[in-house]
Amino acid sequence: MPALDQLRLKHPEIAADFTIDQHWERYGADEHGMWRTLYERQAKVLPGRAAQEFLDGLAKLDLVSDRIPEFERLSDGLEKLTGWRVVAVPSLVPDDIFFDHLAHRRFPAGQFIRTPQQIDYIEEPDVFHDVFGHVPMLAHPVFADYMQAYGKGGQRALSEFGALKNLARLYWYTVEFGLIEKPEGLRIYGSGIVSSRTESIYAVESPSPNRIRFDLERVMRTNYRIDDFQESYFVIGSFEDLFQETYKDFAALYTKLASGPNYSPGDVLAGDRVHHRGTHTYIGGSHAA
Ligand code: PHE
Ligand code: CO
């Protein structure tokens, strides 16, 4: 992650909290065209795969296919719904800065958009991933509260507990790659999935990945991979359940997590509730963790 002085070369106006001006007027036709291409691809694959809460957010925010959204206008609408705003940053920001933004209901979004060569894979989150992928869920009141609580929890994990790795896994397996169980079947809500055409299909339809019932401690002990489709997804029952499970003091849990096993992304454990075709079955045994 580049330091502030380095970023200042390209973004002279960068602030101490790593925000920059979106400079919406500087996007070219090709950049708006890339947004449109990505948007239209997702509009085709998401119905029947994405959680209704995500699709509702997309509709409420009036995100449209034909141009990269202007963060100020988008934020004015979002703020009326849940009090969140979107701020522009050059790329990934340091953890403490990220948590501070979330704790204040500001979502830092990459200002740039991927190039045609990067259409299916980028290492750093761009405006399509960050805005199309993340912002619709921020229009959902419970998820909006969860994200702010996560930011505050991140500040504690960093300053008091040294438990960043455990907490980052929670973000990864919910905010970025979460699935939710609905009466109609499993649906995606994680931004890393909903912003990817191929993973949107894979996460719901492929027989290959494990789909394991969300369990806070289990998730916090599980490593993740950043270079390929996930080998395991964790499935929540509802956003209310997720918020209830996490809106409690993690101090005792962090102490417990400091010893005991860590799991590999593909592991299935005795006691995991594994979902099959929208229902779940138990794999025998008791939870080892
Ligand atoms: N409850 C967590 C703590 O005590 C904070 C948190 C809330 C983290 C919600 C993630 C999501 O630190
Ligand atoms: Co993301």
pLDDT digits (tens, 9 = 90+) for 102-124: 999 999 999 999 999 999 888 89
pLDDT confidence band for 91 (50 / 70 / 90): confident
CB 146 within 8 A of CB 246: yes
Residues touching ligand 1 (Cβ under 6 Å) are: 146, 149-150, 153, 156, 170, 246-250
Residue 47 Cα to ligand 1 midpoint, Å, equals 31
- Extract the tokens encoding 266: 């593909």
Could you tell me how far CA 284 lies from the centroid of its own chain? Answer: 31
Tens of pLDDT, residue by residue over 134-160, are 999 999 999 999 999 999 999 999 999
pLDDT value, residue 287: 38
Handedness of CA 197, 43, 49, 215 (dihedral sign): positive
pLDDT at 259 over 70: yes
Question: What are the chain's domains?
Answer: 4-284 (1.10.800.10)
pTM summary value: 0.94
Q: Supply φ then ψ for residue 281, to 5 degrees.
A: -125, 155
Residue 76 to residue 80: CA distance in whole angstroms: 7
Atom index in ligand 1 nearest the CA of residue 248 equals 1
pLDDT at 285 over 90: no
Considering every ligand atom shown, identify the ligand nearest to the alpha carbon of residue 196 and give its number.
Answer: 2
